[in-house]
């Protein structure tokens, strides 16, 4: 088996998926959109994402007050 070919094929499929529109869950009217379009929409709407940070999963963060102690 050619691992390089398999990896390139997988990456091409992933890139194609990130660039297409499709239903994620049509029953609940949830779709996925191209990643570039999603970024544009978030910027236009000034949407800010507050990512939940779990200290256990985030590990040591040198910017956190606890790390400065």
**Token reading at 43:** 């910027």
What is the bridge-based pairing of β-strands 30-32 and 22-25? antiparallel
Residue 9 scores a pLDDT above 60: yes
Neighbours of 32 (CB within 10 A): 14
Question: 3-class DSSP state for residue 14?
Answer: helix
pLDDT digits (tens, 9 = 90+) for 39-65: 888 888 887 777 666 655 555 554 545
Whole-model pTM: value is: 0.47
């Amino acid at each position: 088996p050619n691992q390089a070919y398999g990896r390139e094929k997988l990456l091409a499929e992933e890139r194609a998926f990130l660039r297409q529109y499709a239903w994620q869950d049509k029953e609940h009217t949830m779709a996925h959109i191209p990643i570039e379009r999603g970024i544009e929409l978030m910027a236009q709407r000034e949407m800010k994402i507050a990512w939940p940070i779990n200290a256990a999963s985030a590990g040591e963060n040198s910017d956190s007050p606890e790390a400065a102690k």
